[in-house]
Amino acid sequence: MAGTAPRRRSAAALADGLLTAGLLALDVGTHEASWDGAPLPALRPREFALLETLLAEPGRVFTKRELEAAVLGFDGLVGSRAIDQHVVNVRAKLPDPSVIRTVRGVGYAVASGTG
pTM of the prediction? Answer: 0.82
pLDDT at residue 61, rounded to an integer: 97
Closest to 101 (Cα-Cα) out of 27, 45, 22: 22
Fold classified for 12-110: Arc Repressor Mutant, subunit A (1.10.10)
Q: Where exactly are the structural domains of the chain?
A: 12-110
Q: State the 10-residue block means of pLDDT for the chain, 115 residues long.
A: 43 67 94 96 96 96 93 73 94 96 95 64
Print the SS3 string covering the chain: CCCCCCCCCCHHHHHHCEEEECCEEEECCCCEEEECCEECCCCCHHHHHHHHHHHHCCCCCEEHHHHHHHHHCCCCCCCCCHHHHHHHHHHHHCCCHHHEEEECCCEEEECCCCC
